[in-house]
Structure 1
Amino acid sequence: MTRRWCTTAARRGLGGTAALALAALLTVLPPASAAAADSGSGYAFAPDAPTVTGATGSTDAVSLQPGTTYRSTLPDKGSRYFRLELAADTTAYVPVTAVPPADATVSASDGIEVSIEDANGTACDYDTARFGAGLSPRPVTAVGRREAGKALCKDAGTYYVVVERAVSGSTTTSPGSWDLEIAPVTEPALTEAGASTAPGTWNSASPEPLTSAPRRRTAGAGFATATPLDQGVWQTGITPGQTLYYAVPVGWGQQLHATVDLGSTSGDSRGYVSAALNLSLYNPVRGYVDDVSLGYDGTQKSSSLDPLPPVAYANRYATGGTESSVRFAGAYYLVVHLTGQTADTFGKGPYGVTLRVRVDGTPNSGPAYAGSPVPKGVFDVSSARGGLGGAAGDDDTAMRALAAGGIGTGTALLLVLGGWTLTARRAQMRANAQKPTA
Structure 2
Amino acid sequence: MDGAKGTTGAELLEAGRTYRSSLPRDAELYYRLHLDAASDAYVSVTAIPRADATLSITDGIRVSVQDADNHSCSNERARFGAARSPHPITAWGARTTSPAAPFCRGAGTYYVVVERTGTADSSPGAWDLEITTTTEPRLKQAAATSPPKVWNSASPTPASGPVEHSQGGAGFSRAVSVGQGVWSAGITPGQTLFYKIPVGWGQQPSATAELGSVNGDGHGYAIDALALTLYNPVRADVEDANTGYDGKQKSASLAAVPAVDYSNRYAIPDRVNAMRFAGSYYLVVHLAAGVAQKFGDGPFRLTLRIGIDGAAQDGPDYEGQSVPANVFEVTAQDRQAAAQGATPDAHATMKAVAAGGIGAGTVVLAVLGAWTVAARRRARTW
Q: TM-score, normalised by structure 1?
A: 0.76
Q: Which amino acid aligns with 1:212?
A: G
In 2: Cα distance, 1:207 partner to 1:101 partner: 36
Aligned positions of 1:397-412 closer than 5 A: none
Residues 334-393 of structure 1: CA distance to partner in whole angstroms, max 9, x if unpaired?
00000000000011111110000010101111111111111111000118828xx92243
Q: Which amino acid aligns with 1:66?
A: A
1:169 matched to 2:107: no
Higher normalized contact order (CA 8 Å, seq sep 6+, divided by chain length): 2
1:199 matched to 2:148: yes
Q: Is the CA contact (8 Å cut-off) linking 1:114 and 1:142 kept in structure 2?
A: yes
Shift of 1:329: 0.3
In 2: Cα distance, 1:153 partner to 1:341 partner: 43
Shift of 1:131: 0.3
Q: Is the CA contact (8 Å cut-off) linking 1:377 and 1:383 kept in structure 2?
A: no
In 1: Cα distance, 2:115 partner to 2:333 partner: 31
Structure with a larger share of its residues in helix: 1
| 1:312 corresponds to | 261
Q: TM-score, normalised by structure 2?
A: 0.87
1:219 matched to 2:168: yes
Residues 243-278 of structure 1: CA distance to partner in whole angstroms, max 9, x if unpaired?
000000000000001011000001122211110110
Q: 1:141 aligns with which of 52, 74, 90?
A: 90
Q: Which amino acid aligns with 1:158?
A: T
Q: Is the CA contact (8 Å cut-off) linking 2:80 and 2:87 kept in structure 1?
A: yes
| 1:260 corresponds to | 209
Q: Which amino acid aligns with 2:232?
A: N
Residues 20-79 of structure 1: CA distance to partner in whole angstroms, max 9, x if unpaired?
xxxxxxxxxxxxxxxxxxxxxxxxxxxxxxxx1111111101111100111111111121
Gaps of 5+ in 1: 1-51, 405-438
| 2:29 corresponds to | 80
SS of 2:338 mapped into structure 1 = coil
In 2: Cα distance, 1:215 partner to 1:357 partner: 12
Residues 185-232 of structure 1: CA distance to partner in whole angstroms, max 9, x if unpaired?
011111111111110001122333222111100110000000000111
Q: Is the CA contact (8 Å cut-off) linking 1:81 and 1:163 kept in structure 2?
A: yes
| 2:109 corresponds to | 158
1:246 matched to 2:201: no
| 1:393 corresponds to | 340
Q: Which amino acid aligns with 1:169?
A: T
| 2:69 corresponds to | 120
Structure with a larger share of its residues in strand: 2
Residues 282-312 of structure 1: CA distance to partner in whole angstroms, max 9, x if unpaired?
0000001011111111000112101111000
1:374 matched to 2:323: yes
| 2:252 corresponds to | 303
In 1: Cα distance, 2:265 partner to 2:344 partner: 37
In 1: Cα distance, 2:318 partner to 2:21 partner: 32
In 2: Cα distance, 1:282 partner to 1:402 partner: 24
In 2: Cα distance, 1:400 partner to 1:321 partner: 30
Tell me how large the CA RMSD over aligned residues is: 1.8
In 2: Cα distance, 1:342 partner to 1:403 partner: 36
In 2: Cα distance, 1:402 partner to 1:116 partner: 34
Shift of 1:108: 1.3
SS of 1:148 mapped into structure 2 = coil
Q: Which has the larger radius of gyration?
A: 1
SS of 2:337 mapped into structure 1 = coil
User: How many matched pairs?
Assistant: 346
In 2: Cα distance, 1:379 partner to 1:284 partner: 7
Q: Kindly tell me: are residues 181 and 378 of structure 1, through their superposed partners in 2, closer, same or farther at Cα, counting changes over 3 Å?
A: same
SS of 1:390 mapped into structure 2 = helix
Q: Which amino acid aligns with 1:393?
A: Q
